[in-house]
Amino acid sequence: MSLADFGRKELDIAEHEMPGLMAARKEFGPAQPLAGVRVMGSLHMTIQTAVLAETLEALGADVRWCSCNIFSTQDHAASACVRAGTANIFAWKGETLEEYWWCTDKALTWPDGEGMDQIVDHGGDATLLLHEGKKFEEQFAKDKSLPDPASTDNAEFKCVLATIKNSIAKDPTRFTRMVQRMVGVSEETTTGVHRLIAMADVGELLFPAINVNDCVTKSKFDNVYGCRHSLPDGIMRATDVMLSGKKVVICGFGDVGKGSAASMRAQNAITYVTEIDPICALQACMEGYQVVTMEDLISEADVFITTTGNKDIITLEHMKKMKNNAIVGNIGHFDNEIQMEQLEKATTRMNIKPQCDKYTFPDGHGVIVLAEGRLLNLGCATGHPSFVMSNSFTNQTLAQLELRKAYVEAGKDKAKSKYQNQVYLLPKELDEKVARLHLGQLGAHLTELSTEQADYIGVKKSGPYKPTTYRY
């Protein structure tokens, strides 16, 4: 069986678990609202992403794609799309940084040398390249100066500068033309949205952006339900350890922490929570978790998981005091939630299985670290399940359609579109629509408001049903 065959079989199964995307194909496919629209994606090239890419293609789009992480591509997924001709994919598992930025550059360059109309972004790398590219082209137009990769110590930004330098050498207005063509970007992540808002705040954002990250059906679903699924999955695949009866410390009780703690209790672990925010801490109390400091449990707990988005949550000093074979993992954000660099220096590392290492201190005791401190649900398991991603990606699809619709309604005059160079939330109706498209597969029956009831609570029968401040 070829890699593409294998990918296609997994795609068939995943489609079943992504009812929002399949419903979008059915509802919008006939009208081909993205016909002729060039859509570029920069987002982990997995099986689920392939279903998204093929959905955009099914709505008419001309799709090119790269990954947003050097490790995250599932080659069989990429392969299946390529063979089917549904998208041009530039991504493979284990790229170098140079290859990564080469792929990004390829994905946003159509055969005619021009760029895309819209971007699906994850973390903002594609958007960054366009913004930096245009900036350096302008500089070049002014003084013929080129970006200097040697000017930065950041290995990644070095590649960005090299990419732009090469581009200007060949075509000194390429990025500028690309930006002019851009109708908008839809961004998947907190980090990416932060970058976009920072640019918009200083008036430097060059095209409209839709913040998909803060849709309820994205942020709550990814973070709470996705992690609730994948945390125990990752721990078990990596260690086969029984969690029942074990003491587990979940660092942080935000959305990721809430899902993580729930999953550990569901495994009948004795679950502790650390928090810095008193409101979240009190929520943890109300759910029956004991709220502790790391110091309280450091020598007793069996498992420690970071979920914070902050750094130095588990320090070298913490790990020194842990029990032998304590398991340490991160499902929050970057690998600096755990002091991995310091740990590497202070210990001897022994690989047990892929993505599972024991770091032994000179005194003979050691800790087991999952996925080298990076996201363990991605490293040790398969990340968020298809059903959760279907929610995120249906938001992405609706965001892409919304950008296009506004552009068309404005007579393809960007200046007249309702979306200007700002960061917009997806309208709540569309957030609700995403949810609606996922109920059928679960056999859920929604109740309809009567006209009298809708009037009584002051909403439209078709929604939106809640004020924007509603917390869900």
Annotated binding site for NAD(+): 189-191, 254-259, 275, 331-333, 377, 384
Q: What is the Cα–Cα distance from 341 to 362, expressed in whole angstroms?
A: 17
Chosen residue from 152, 166, 310, 342 binding a copy of itself by CB under 8 A:
310
CB 15 within 8 A of CB 9: no
CA dihedral 21, 63, 426, 13 (to 10 degrees): 20
Does 386 contact a copy of itself by CB under 8 A?
A: yes
Does 38 contact a copy of itself by CB under 8 A?
A: no
Q: What is the Cα–Cα distance from 33 to 52, expressed in whole angstroms?
A: 16
The interface mask with a copy of itself, positions 209-248, x = CB under 8 A, is: -----x-xx-xxx--xx--xx--xx--xx-xxxxxxxxx-
Does 465 contact a copy of itself by CB under 8 A?
A: yes
Pick the closer one to a copy of itself by CB: 86 or 271: 271
Pick the closer one to a copy of itself by CB: 36 or 288: 288
* Residue where the block lists tokens 């929050």: 332
Pick the closer one to a copy of itself by CB: 96 or 324: 324
Candidate ranges 25-33, 84-92, 347-355, 398-406; the one touching a copy of itself (CB under 8 A):
347-355
Pick the closer one to a copy of itself by CB: 96 or 453: 453
Chosen residue from 409, 412, 439, 460 binding a copy of itself by CB under 8 A:
439
Q: Shortest gap between Cβ of 416 and a copy of itself (angstroms)?
A: 29
In DSSP notation, 284-332 reads: HHHTTPEE--HHHHTTT-SEEEE-SSSS-SB-HHHHHHSPTTEEEEE-S
347-375 burial, b for 16+ CB within 10 Å, e for fewer? Answer: beeeeeeebbbbbbbeeeebbbbbbbbbb
Q: Shortest gap between Cβ of 279 and a copy of itself (angstroms)?
A: 4
Pick the closer one to a copy of itself by CB: 42 or 211: 211
Does 337 contact a copy of itself by CB under 8 A?
A: no
Q: Measured on CA atoms in the order 449, 451, 452, 454, is the torsion positive or negative?
A: positive
> Which 241-300 positions form the footprint of a copy of itself (CB under 8 A)?
241-247, 255, 265-271, 274-294, 296, 300
Pick the closer one to a copy of itself by CB: 133 or 226: 226
The interface mask with a copy of itself, positions 391-430, x = CB under 8 A, is: x---------------------------------------
Gyration radius from the chain CA atoms: 23
CA dihedral 231, 234, 235, 238 (to 10 degrees): -170
Candidate ranges 134-142, 144-152, 303-311, 340-348; the one touching a copy of itself (CB under 8 A):
303-311
Nearest CA-CA partner of 24 in 57, 64, 49:
57
Please report which helix (H) or strand (E) contains residue 4, including its range: helix 3-16
CB 136 within 8 A of CB 146: yes
Chosen residue from 28, 102, 140, 387 binding a copy of itself by CB under 8 A:
387
* Segments in 315-385 forming alpha helices (H): 316-321, 340-346, 376-379
Pick the closer one to a copy of itself by CB: 151 or 293: 293
Pick the closer one to a copy of itself by CB: 16 or 416: 16
Nearest CA-CA partner of 295 in 251, 263, 340:
251
Number of chain residues interacting with a copy of itself (CB under 8 A): 103
Chosen residue from 321, 348, 453, 460 binding a copy of itself by CB under 8 A:
453
Please report which helix (H) or strand (E) contains residue 271, including its range: strand 270-274
In terms of Cβ atoms closer than 10 Å to its own Cβ (0-12, 13-18, 19+), residue 301 is buried
Does 445 contact a copy of itself by CB under 8 A?
A: yes
Chosen residue from 142, 143, 411, 469 binding a copy of itself by CB under 8 A:
469
